[in-house]
Amino acid sequence: MGDYHAPLFLAWQLTNNCTGRCLHCCEESGKEFIWKDEMNREQALNLTRQIVSNGIAYVAFGGGEPMSSPWVWEIFETLTAGKVEIKIETNGLDLDDAACDRLKAMNIACVQISIDGATQAVHEKLRPGSGYKPAWEALERLAKRGLEPELVFIPTRINVQDAVAIYEQATKAGVRTFVTGPMMRLGRAAHAWDTLACSDEDWAEAVMGLKAGAAALKGPRLAVYPWGIQQEMKTRAESPQSMVLVVPNGRAKLLNALPFAVADLKTESLASAWPKVGAAWKSKEVQDFVRRAQTETDLLKHANECWDLVVAA
């Protein structure tokens, strides 16, 4: 990351608002969990303009539900005009025909929608408040417009046996990529880990089934993330990506698994925050946290907090 004057990639959790209360949510999102100090419209648009002026190539929007933000379309339009590519992680509830037409006109690079069950019962048990049928309908609308959506599947002990069946369904829905990987031990998933996480053996069996299914059906590209969150933390600490995470209140963080916040982008420029991100990765506080989290798993329950970390940039 030291090779660049600005991040190549920005992950932006636009809001913590969400209709869902997903059992395995990394961010502990929900309607009742909106942060009181989330960025307002002018603050969010100011950051958007800085993304363009700093030449950042790619922004991934998550949350919460990013499409629930009242100014999400203004942000998208500003980024699109500035030649910034956009990825959206959404439950699909807000992607009606008109919304999909707007995304097509913007030539959005990637839209990801989660499907976590081969049936409505399984999906909505894991994702109460999300909606199984609306998620599939949104995928189909996007595919119809040539936007080649991606389907995300998160394995748990409730749904791991559904992996291959969901892949088969995705083959018929025009999905470009089937994205999966181990459930991340963060947020609500961290608190429910002992009752929700599937075994390593069950996950390995599911991956074998998915690879066999992908070879036989020649359906969507299969993308299996190789690491759990602890290995990701260790790998990133050794060789950080050229990216920054922005959480709903505008704080700049290093990674969704780490609670450290190094700048407030409501009051500080993105350009001045970026060197602090690099310095923070090298700091004793971050390196010690990553090392300890390999065995002290309760540390992962702090991921969504913002601990002030003062570093010399």
Q: What is the number of structural domains in the chain?
A: 1
At 84, which CATH number?
Answer: 3.20.20.70
Calculate ∠ Cα 163-126-227, nearest 5°.
55
Calculate ∠ Cα 267-271-272, nearest 5°.
60
**pTM for the model:** 0.96
First to last CA, the chain: 14
| Structure tokens, 67 | 């499409």
Of the pLDDT bands very low, low, confident and very high (cuts 50, 70, 90), residue 153 is very high
Asked if 73 and 99 touch (Cβ cutoff 8 Å), the reply is: no
Residue range 196-214: mean pLDDT, rounded: 97
Residue 4 lies in a domain: no
Asked if 63 and 16 touch (Cβ cutoff 8 Å), the reply is: yes
Residue 2 lies in a domain: no
Of the pLDDT bands very low, low, confident and very high (cuts 50, 70, 90), residue 205 is very high
pLDDT, mean over the chain: 96
Nearest to 183 by CA among 150, 151, 156, 157: 156
pLDDT computed for residue 1 by the predictor: 76
Residue 265 lies in a domain: yes
Asked if 183 and 156 touch (Cβ cutoff 8 Å), the reply is: yes
Asked if 230 and 185 touch (Cβ cutoff 8 Å), the reply is: yes
Residue 214 lies in a domain: yes
Question: In the chain, count of helices (H) and strands (E)?
Answer: 12, 11
Per-residue pLDDT tens digits for 64-112 = 999 999 999 999 999 999 999 999 999 999 999 999 999 999 999 999 9
Laid out side by side, the sheet with 85-90 consists of 221-224, 177-180, 150-153, 110-114, 85-90, 58-62, 9-13, 243-246, 251-253, 260-264, 307-308
Per-residue pLDDT tens digits for 14-69 = 999 999 999 999 999 999 999 999 999 999 999 999 999 999 999 999 989 999 99
Helix-strand-coil percent breakdown of the chain, rounded to 5?
45, 15, 40
Strand locations in the chain (E): 9-13, 58-62, 85-90, 110-114, 150-153, 177-180, 221-224, 243-246, 251-253, 260-264, 307-308
Q: What are phi and psi of 103, to 5 degrees?
A: -65, -40
Buried b (16+ CB within 10 A) or exposed e, 233-251: beebbeebebbbbbbbbbb
Q: What are phi and psi of 85, to 5 degrees?
A: -80, 150
Q: Which domain holds residue 119?
A: 9-308
Q: How far apart are CA 130 and CA 91, in angstroms?
A: 6
Q: How far apart are CA 67 and CA 88, in angstroms?
A: 9
Give residue 85's identity as a one-letter amino acid code.
E
Residue 187 lies in a domain: yes
Residue 20 lies in a domain: yes
Residue 35 lies in a domain: yes
- Listed in sequence order, the residues at least 6 apart from 45 whose beta carbon sits closer than 8 Å to its beta carbon are 71, 74, 75, 78
